[in-house]
Amino acid sequence: MTTGTHTLTPGQADSGDSAKNFLLWLGVIALVYLLITAVGTISSGFKTATGGQAKELFAFATNPILGLLIGTMATALIQSSSTVTSIIVALVAGGLPITIAVPMVMGANIGTTITNTIVSLGHVRDKEEFQRAFAAATVHDFFNLLSVLIFLPLEIMFGFLEKLGLYMASFLVGGESMSLKGFNFIKAAYKPVVNVFKDAAHILPHPFDGIFMIVLGIVLIFVAILYMGKILKKLMVGKAKEFLHAAIGRGPVTGILSGTGVTVLVQSSSTTTSLMVPLAGSGVLSLRQIYPFTLGANIGTTVTALLAATAIAGDKALFALAIALIHFAYNIVGCILIYGLPPLRVLPIYGAEWLAGMATKNKLYALAYVLGVFFIIPGVIVGISNL
C-alpha cells in the first residue's frame, strides 16, 4: 500500500485497521451509553412532565387497535423497529401502561417491514426480478400481519403476553428494590448526564421542561441506533457473511438462527430483511429459503429493547423489562406457532406470491399496498378515532 511518498508494509496496514476497528468499537460503546442515557432521559422527562400521572396522558391510546396503528406508522416513518421499541420501553418506564404498550410493539413489527418492501421496489426495471424481490419482501409483512391477527385478539381477551412478560421480568428484577439485578451500576453511569439535561430543562416552565427531556431522549435514541447500525455494519459485515454462508444449503432452523445472528450483529431487522431482497431478486435464493431469515430478524431485533431496558432502575424497572421481554416472547411464540404449523406456515408465502403477482401485472397495486398498509389506512383510522 502506498501513501504519498511512504509505502505501508502489510503489518503496518493491519495495525492501521486494528486501530480503526478499535476506534469504531469505542464508538459503539459510546452509542450504547447514549442509548441507555436517552432511555433514562425520556423516563425522567415523563416523570417531570406528568408527575407520575402518565396513564391519563395515554388515555387516547387505550384502544389496542389504535396502539397497533400508532406503532405501525411510527416505525414505518422512521424505518426502525429497534428505535420505536426502545422509545416504548422508555415510555413504559415513564408510566405508559403495558396493556397499551403491547399493541404498539406488535405495530412496530408490522411497520418495520416497510423497509425491505421499499428496497424491493428498486427492482422495478426487470419484471421477473421485481416479482421475486417483492414476494421475498412481503413474506415478512404477511407473517407479521398474520401474527397480529392471531395474537392481538388473544392478548385483548386474556392478556397472556403481558402476564408472560411480567412473569419473566420478575425473575430478573429484584423483588424489594425493583431494580435490575446486577444492572444498577448502569443507572449510576448515566444519571449524571440525565441530571445535566434536567438542570438545562429547568429553565423552561412546567410541563415543558419534561417535554423537552422526552423530545431530547427520542432524538438521542434515534441518533444512537442509527449510528450504531452504521458502525456495526462496517465492523460486522464479515461476520454477517459467515452467518449467511453457514446457512446456505441447510434447513430452516439454521436460517432462523442465521437471521437472528445477523440482526443482532447489525442491530436492525430491516437491514437483515433488506439484505435478503437482492438475493431473492437475482433468483439465487427462493422465497421459501428467505422466509426463515425474516423470522430470525424478528427475534434478533428484540435485543436492542432489552438493552434499553437495562437503563431503567427503580419502581418501573419491572415494567420496562417486561415490555422488552414481551417483544422477545411475542416473536419467539409467533415463530414457533406460525412456522411450526404447516397450514399456517404456508399462508405468508401464498399471500406474498399473490400480491407479487398482482403488483407485477399492475405496479400501482404495489404503490397502493405500501402507502395504504403503512400510512393511509392507519392514518385515517387514527384520525377518525380522534374526532
Partner 1 sequence: MNEQLKSTSIERLKGMIENTEQQLAYLKDELQERENQAAHEQIEHLDDYMDVAEQRFGPLIEFVATIMKELRNTKSKG
Give the C-alpha distances (Å, rounded to integers) separating 148 from 51, 106, 223, 244.
34, 7, 29, 28
Quick one: 35 or 240, whose CB is closer to partner 1?
240
Q: What is the DSSP letter of 205?
A: P
Choose which of 26, 29, 219, 284 interacts with partner 1 (CB under 8 A): 284
Q: Which of 370, 373, 378, 382 binds partner 1 (CB under 8 A)?
A: 370
Shortest distance (Å) from residue 173 CB to partner 1: 36
SS3 assignment, position 223: helix
CB of 317 to partner 1, least distance (A): 34
* CA–CA separation, 267 and 56 (whole Å): 33
- Give the position of cell 392478556: 159
Longest dimension (CA), the chain: 73
Answer yes or no whether residue 121 interacts with partner 1 by CB under 8 A.
yes
Q: Does 364 bind partner 1 (CB under 8 A)?
A: yes
The label of the residue with cell 399462508 reads 347
Is residue 258 involved in binding partner 1 (CB under 8 A)? no
User: Does the protein bind partner 1 through residue 323 (CB under 8 A)?
Assistant: no
| 121 vs 168 by CB, closer to partner 1 | 121
341: Cβ contacts below 8 Å, ≥ 6 apart: none
Touching partner 1, residues 212-231 (CB under 8 A): 230
CB 306 within 8 A of CB 324: yes
Report, in Å, the least distance between residue 228 CB and partner 1.
13
Q: Is 241 in the site for partner 1 (CB under 8 A)?
A: yes
Hey, what's the torsion of the CAs at 29, 30, 34, 37, to 10 degrees? 80
Closest to partner 1 by CB, 101 vs 275, is: 275
**HSE-up of residue 145 (Cα within 13 Å, Cβ side):** 14
User: Which CB atom, from 194 or from 224, has the smaller least distance to partner 1?
Assistant: 224
- Residue whose CB is less far from partner 1, 156 or 367: 367
Query: Is 251 a residue that touches partner 1 (CB under 8 A)?
Result: no
Three-state secondary structure of 17-69: HHHHHHHHHHHHHHHHHHHHHHHHHHHHHHHHHHCCCHHHHCHHHCCHHHHHH
Stretch that binds partner 1, among 179-187, 199-207, 243-251, 343-351 (CB under 8 A): 243-251
CA dist., res. 245 & res. 264, Å (int):
17
Using rule CB under 8 A, residue 118 touches partner 1 = yes
Measured between alpha carbons, how far is 260 from 172 in angstroms, rounded to an integer? 23
Residue 244 touching partner 1 (CB under 8 A): yes
Residues 72-91 that bind partner 1 (CB under 8 A): 79
Interface with partner 1: number of residues (CB under 8 A) = 35
379 binds partner 1 (CB under 8 A): no
Q: Which residues bind partner 1 (CB under 8 A)?
A: 79, 115-116, 118-122, 124-125, 230, 233, 237, 240-241, 244-245, 248-249, 266, 270-271, 274-275, 277-279, 282, 284-285, 363-364, 366-367, 370
